[in-house]
Amino acid sequence: MCGIFGCILKNGNAAPIIHSALKKLEYRGYDSVGTATVYKNKLFIKKDKGKIDEVHALHNLDDLPGRIGIGHTRWATHGAPYQVNTHPHTDCKEQIAVVHNGIIENFAELKMELEERGHVFRSKTDTEVIAHLIEEKLTGGLTLAEAAREALRQVVGSYAIAVVSVTEPDKIVCARKESPLVVGVAENALYFASDIPAFLPLTNRSVVIQDEEIIILNDGEYEIRKIPDWELVKREPEVIDWTSEMAEKQGYPHFMLKEIHEQPSCLRSTLRLQDQFLELMTTFIDRAGEVFLVACGTSHNACIAASYMFSKLALSATHPVIASEFVEQHGKSVNIDSTLLAVSQSGETADTLAALECARQRAATVLGLTNVVGSTLTRVARVYVCQQSGPEIGVAATKTFTSQLSVLSQLALRLAKRRGKISHVEIEDLEEKLKQMPDIIERIIQTKEEKLRQIAKKYKDKRCFFFLGRGISYAVALEGRLKLMEIAYVPAIAYPAGESKHGPISLIEPGFPVIFICPKDDTHKTVIGNIMEMKARGASIIALVEEGDEEIKSLADDYIEIATGLPEVLSPIPFVVPLQLFAYYMAVERKCDPDMPRNLAKSVTVK
């Protein structure tokens, strides 16, 4: 996730406006920043790696001439955060500049073809192909907008782009597919941005650009066209009545809620990861004598779910280990045949890095799954995969958890395929269901959020909760508990449902709330038995069930229905979403700040 912004002013300098707007988009990415302006038929570019303030201190981002410009704040996906990989990217002749938020899936093929035709690339980014494609189309005699359209027709993936060119110095051409793009309309200026807060102090009139549309900005006027058939679209600006603070959270009261709602789009991004890195990682896992999945907190819960995925799909045992315990538990036995897959949203968690260091010293192979390219984990790992969830501001991990699950399930599936442990039909079914996951989550959020708010209202004063699940749903129980404890400060216990009768059941008294996670998998029958045990002792049952599961619905005091027919290994992805929303509304009901829970930090860099 990156932020893009640009403007065409009637008068004055674009660069300082771009600079302050990018500051408002910094939450979308902050590892490098750049601006390009057009002035007297020349492009002027300043860009570098680092936070906006650092780059500004070095290069003065306000000091570029011209009333037209584009800017970008980056969250690296393809290519580490170096100056050369910073946007804007240019064509061979440095006449065209492009900023982009999204992922070009077929960039490697396009780049190869362009290089064969003599184009010289400077960066390792996927974005640069767009600049070179437009360059080719322009030499064929098209206008800038037509050239951008033709270039984008060759591109597979997601994008919000903006292009300027010295050949048409009065225009900015923008386009979008699956990445956000809005245009701000003022008396004396036109703006575009990834997000409304970037221009809200300047205008509250906005035009939302839809998927596969191009917008041509030109001195106070704009023209929208559909990319597939070039049809003209008439769309008037709407008035936005958000305050600046509301706008930063896109109208949501908290970042956590915004991030829960972002999960469909984050999951779509996990389906576009670079094949070569997933394959390479699968090779290391395949060859390892033993595989440890090392992480803390939510990432550890993802690892527990992953151990079921590897076991069920690839028939392969992996060991999820809490990072702070790794050295004590395995520090002496880990060796050259061991592989550690470290899972860390931030890539900076001290406990996780300490486990990796111990393993590295004993010649083990270290792999990483993280959300932050350029983090320590990406530097120490032999291979890393970036889960591409975009920055997560809320301390409680939500969107990054479901994205981790998606990536880990893809790895398990690849290993299963490679080892011939899974049938063709199962592979196709899993791949299909992974593709449907964003829509399934969208539907849960749309249809169940209000009900979960009501359930939170009903149970807000309970002093303790149980979360129970069997099999892979145990990981969901752990994550539901962690969310509730960390943001609503309600003590909670999570157990494998079968284990609860070996001790914790003694806590149950009439009205004690027990949340059961009950997908219709092989554990379903035994879970019903566990529900009965709890009910017999007066517990209040809140059940997460698949649609049409009348048996469990009839036993529950409250229930939430989730799409049916999910493969067992993918069920944690949708089943955790109601628990995130429940924890969020419990925090709100109990007057706690879900974004900034006490005593916690987003990234824990001490051991």
Q: Which of 128, 259, 486, 549 binds ligand M6R (CB under 6 A)?
A: 486
Give the DSSP H or E segment for 226: strand 221-226
Given the rule CB under 6 A, which of 124-132, 208-216, 303-311, 341-349 is the region that contacts ligand M6R?
A: 341-349
Smallest separation (angstroms) from ligand M6R to the CB of 499: 22
Task: Tell me whether strands 89-90 and 96-104 are parallel, antiparallel or unpaired.
Answer: antiparallel
DSSP states along 38-85: EETTEEEEEEEES-HHHHHHHH-TT----SEEEEEEE--SSS-S-GGG
Strands 465-469, 232-233: pairing is unpaired
List all residues 6 or more positions away from 451 whose beta carbon is below 8 Å from its beta carbon.
560
Helix, strand, or coil (residue 461): coil
Secondary structure of 12-46 as H, E, C letters: CCHHHHHHHHHHHCHHHCCCEEEEEEEECCEEEEE
From 226, 417, 553, 602, active-site residue: 602
Stretch that binds ligand M6R, among 160-168, 184-192, 340-348, 411-419 (CB under 6 A): 340-348
Q: What are the angstrom distances between the C-alpha of 183 and each of 97, 242, 349?
A: 19, 16, 38
Answer for which of 127, 165, 265, 346 binds ligand M6R (CB under 6 A) is 346
Site residues for ligand M6R, 60-89, by CB under 6 A, read: none
Question: Checking DSSP bridges between strand 338-344 and strand 365-370, what pairing results, if any?
Answer: parallel
- In the bound complex, which residue of the shown chain has the CB atom lying closest to ligand M6R? 297
Binding mask 349-388 for ligand M6R (x = CB under 6 A): x--x------------------------------------
Near ligand M6R by CB under 6 A: residue from 61, 162, 396, 542: 396
Compute the distance between CA of residue 103 and CA of residue 271 in angstroms, rounded to an integer.
Answer: 11
Q: At what angle do helices 399-418 and 572-589 cross, to 10 degrees?
A: 170
- Measured from the CB atom, the residue of 355 and 395 that comes closer to ligand M6R is 395
Is 395 one of the binding residues for ligand M6R (CB under 6 A)?
Answer: yes
> With binding defined as CB under 6 A, does residue 603 bind ligand M6R?
yes
- If one asks whether residue 299 binds ligand M6R (CB under 6 A), the answer comes out as yes
Size of the site for ligand M6R (CB under 6 A): 17
From 2, 174, 296, 303, the catalytic residue: 2
The answer to whether residue 489 forms part of the interface with ligand M6R (CB under 6 A) is: no
H-type helices in 461-571, by residue range?
473-488, 524-536, 550-555
CA pair distance 89, 200, nearest whole angstrom: 27
Task: Give whichever of 165 and 324 is closer to ligand M6R, judged by the CB atom.
Answer: 324
Specify the DSSP element, H or E, that contains 466: strand 465-469
**Span of 122-130, 212-220, 391-399, 585-593 interacting with ligand M6R by CB under 6 A:** 391-399
Residue 255 · residue 393 · CB < 8 Å = yes
Question: 602 catalytic, yes or no?
Answer: yes
Q: Which is nearer to ligand M6R, 295 or 569 (CB)?
A: 295
32 binds ligand M6R (CB under 6 A): no
Best CA proximity match to 70, nearest among 150, 161, 155, 158: 161
Report the residue number, 35 or 298, with the smaller CB distance to ligand M6R: 298
Binding mask 242-281 for ligand M6R (x = CB under 6 A): ----------------------------------------
344, 409, 500, 523: which one contacts ligand M6R (CB under 6 A)?
A: 344
Nearer to ligand M6R, 299 or 500 (CB): 299
Minimal distance, residue 406 CB to ligand M6R, in Å: 15
| Cα dihedral 176→178→179→181 (10° resolution) | 40
| Binding region for ligand M6R (CB under 6 A) out of 57-65, 118-126, 284-292, 392-400 | 392-400
Report how far residue 148's alpha carbon sits from residue 124's, in angstroms, rounded to the nearest whole number: 21
Least separation in angstroms between residue 266's CB and ligand M6R is 15
Which tokens sit at 282? 């699968």
Min dist. Cβ of residue 157 to ligand M6R (A) = 26
Alpha-carbon dihedral angle through residues 46, 177, 194, 387, given to the nearest 10 degrees: -80
Shortest distance (Å) from residue 486 CB to ligand M6R: 6
CA distances 77 to 1, 17, 49, 404, Å, are: 8, 26, 14, 15
* Rounded Cα gap, residues 513 and 396, in angstroms: 22
Pick the closer one to ligand M6R by CB: 206 or 406: 406
Q: Is 596 among the residues that bind ligand M6R (CB under 6 A)? A: no
Q: Is 2 a catalytic residue?
A: yes
Nearer to ligand M6R, 395 or 576 (CB): 395
Least distance from ligand M6R to the Cβ atom of residue 75, Å? 15
State the nearest-atom distance from the C-beta of 343 to ligand M6R, in Å: 7
What span, in angstroms and rounded, lies between the C-alpha atoms of 484 and 257? 14
Minimum CB–partner distance for residue 251 and ligand M6R (Å): 23
Mask: binding to ligand M6R, 278-297, rule CB under 6 A, as x and -? Answer: ------------------xx
CA atoms within 13 A on the CB side of 495: 15
Between 544 and 583, how does the x/- string for binding to ligand M6R read (CB under 6 A)?
A: ----------------------------------------
Helices 399-418 & 297-314 angle (0-180, nearest 10): 20
Among 85, 123, 338, 345, binds ligand M6R (CB under 6 A): 345
CA gap 326, 340 in Å, rounded: 10
Residue ranges that bind ligand M6R, judged by CB under 6 A: 296-299, 344-346, 349, 352, 395-397, 482, 486, 600, 603-604
What residues are annotated to the active site? 2, 602
